[in-house]
Amino acid sequence: MPKKRTLDEINSRIKKGNAKVLTVQELIDKLDDGEKVKFEDVDIVTTATKALMSGISGIFSFRITPPKKVRKFIDVSMNGIPGYPGPCPNEFLGIIDLILYGTAHSTTRKNYSGGMLFRDLVEGKSVKVIAKSVEGLVIEKQLALDDFQFARLMGTRQSIKNYFAMVNPTDNDVETIFSVLPLKGNFSQLTFSGCGALNPFQNDPNADIIGMGTNILVNGQIGYVIGPGTRNDRLKPNMQTICDFRGMDPNFMGAFRTSYGLESICSIAVPIPILNERIWNNIRKSDKQVPLRVLNVVGRFDVGEITYGDVWDNNFVVEFDPEKCIDCDYCPSEEKCPTNAFDLKKGIDRSRCFNCGTCFVVCPEDAFKADLKSVDVKLKGMKEKKKIPVVLRQSDRHGAIQLANKLKKMILNREFILKEPTGKLEFYPKVY
């Protein structure tokens, strides 16, 4: 007889405190060590990803004046970042409904974006709100997260099943969202995104478990899947999510400075209940079994393929050795760090470090330790494989493991009960 269990049975075990929970990384490590892990040994596997997710926005509602003072507000910014008032006009109420994009840049602060603003709010910092009414009245206020009646993060396409590696075959350097420094040409450098076998949709490729109403973690807080992402096709499933900013962990969010502007950081964790053997077999895969397409960064067309096993191999953390640092007059690692996580005097701020490897690449004194790998790629039109060094990781596998562990602890502590989806995620025709 096929082995199976129900969601009610798993939730009953959670409530009794005897559910068997593993993170995907724990399962991968056990299988790599030759340990036999059976269907009966696991009720839930926690999956996660921490990556650049540009399609996020904050949805806010807050009072700015007493009622009747102005008709409505037509121009609103937070820390110099323009937002979009509405769609509700809130006529004569003195209340603003506002949408603010994570990738929107500040006009008053250098290298500051919506992703940074969201993290600042979660960290308890106040933000400067400037609002202009239809009558021309300009009001300035300092507001913190507790001053908002409504403050939620919405993601339009998140946790994409697997993303890409990028190379530049041209003769010229290219500034792109896929690099921190301009990406050098002639196939001389490779960057990549994606947490490989840890990704939620890698472990539920047909969205049998993940559906509308599935409860998840967004930046460490309980949120929900509200539908399919804007580019949800069968090759690259993704989700749309909603979550309250209150209760998020700032370590899982923020912004990442690329050579073509700021991108947002967001982290998603999803529990996968092991309901049957088909689900169990989907999960029992290593990074070597997860393909990673290599694309031309100019035009995004295929030039080759590797696997996530070529780039991820328990090499998740970047380390700093101050003994090797000669205290340069100009520190490129401090200057180029895309999350402002390195300070020459203080070292690495682990709450901000993305483990991307930029500090290792630019440091002239080998003061950083990182195994970024070099990969052998069979490029289209070439007879022999070409070895290309990895110079940037745009997903933080270490951070994703931490979030998967957080979700595991919440389940074991009976703080997280699994919910039955209210509907399936619709797959769209392939768009790219």
Q: What is the pLDDT of residues 105-153, one digit of tens each?
A: 999 999 999 999 999 999 999 999 999 999 999 999 999 999 999 999 9
Q: Do residues 285 and 31 make contact, with C-beta atoms less than 8 angstroms apart?
A: no
CA atoms within 13 A on the CB side of 132: 7
Per-residue pLDDT, 382 = 82
Beta bridge partners of 90: none
Q: Which two tokens stand for residue 36?
A: 């036999």
Whole-angstrom CA distances from 367 to 331, 344, 370, 424 are: 11, 11, 10, 49
Instruction: Please tell me the distance from the alpha carbon of residue 290 to that of residue 192, in angstroms, as a whole number.
Output: 14
| pLDDT by position in tens, the chain (length 432) | 678 999 999 999 999 999 999 999 999 999 999 999 999 999 999 999 999 999 999 999 999 999 999 999 999 999 999 999 999 999 999 999 999 999 999 999 999 999 999 999 999 999 999 999 999 999 999 999 999 999 999 999 999 998 999 999 999 999 999 999 999 999 999 999 999 999 999 999 999 999 999 999 999 999 999 999 998 998 899 999 999 999 999 999 999 999 999 999 999 999 999 999 999 999 988 999 999 999 999 988 999 999 999 999 999 999 999 999 887 888 999 999 999 999 998 999 999 999 999 999 999 999 999 999 999 999 888 888 999 999 999 999 999 999 999 999 999 999 999 999 999 999 988 655
Rounded Cα distance between 77 and 113, Å, is 12
Angle made by CA atoms 48, 196, 169, in degrees to the nearest 5: 135
Using alpha carbons, select from 65, 63, 107 the residue that is nearest to residue 83: 107
Collapsed DSSP state (helix, strand, coil) of residue 342: strand
Residue 391: the pLDDT is 98
- According to the model, what pLDDT value does residue 11 have? 98
**Residue 205: its pLDDT value, please?**
93
Query: What residue spans of 80-236 are helical by DSSP H?
Result: 114-122
CB 376 within 8 A of CB 384: no
DSSP notation for 349-360 = -TTT----SHHH
Q: Specify the pLDDT at position 431.
A: 53
Q: Of the candidates 230, 208, 264, which has an alpha carbon nearest to the alpha carbon of residue 50?
A: 264
Q: pLDDT at position 430, please?
A: 65
Q: Give the C-alpha separation, 55 to 99, whole Å.
A: 13
Tokens at residue 51, please? Answer: 């990556």
Residue 302 has a pLDDT of 93
Going by DSSP bridges, is the β-strand pair 150-158/127-133 parallel, antiparallel, or unpaired?
Answer: unpaired
Judge contact between 375 and 390, C-beta under 8 A.
Answer: yes
Asked if residue 87 has a cis previous peptide bond (ω within 30° of 0), the answer is yes
Whole-model pTM: value is: 0.96
pLDDT for position 106? 98
- What is the residue whose two structure tokens read 């050098």? 184
pLDDT value of residue 3 = 85
Nearest to 159 by CA among 193, 200, 192, 198: 200
Buried b (16+ CB within 10 A) or exposed e, 320-346: beeeebeeeeebebbebbbbebbeeee
d(CA 267, CA 252): 6
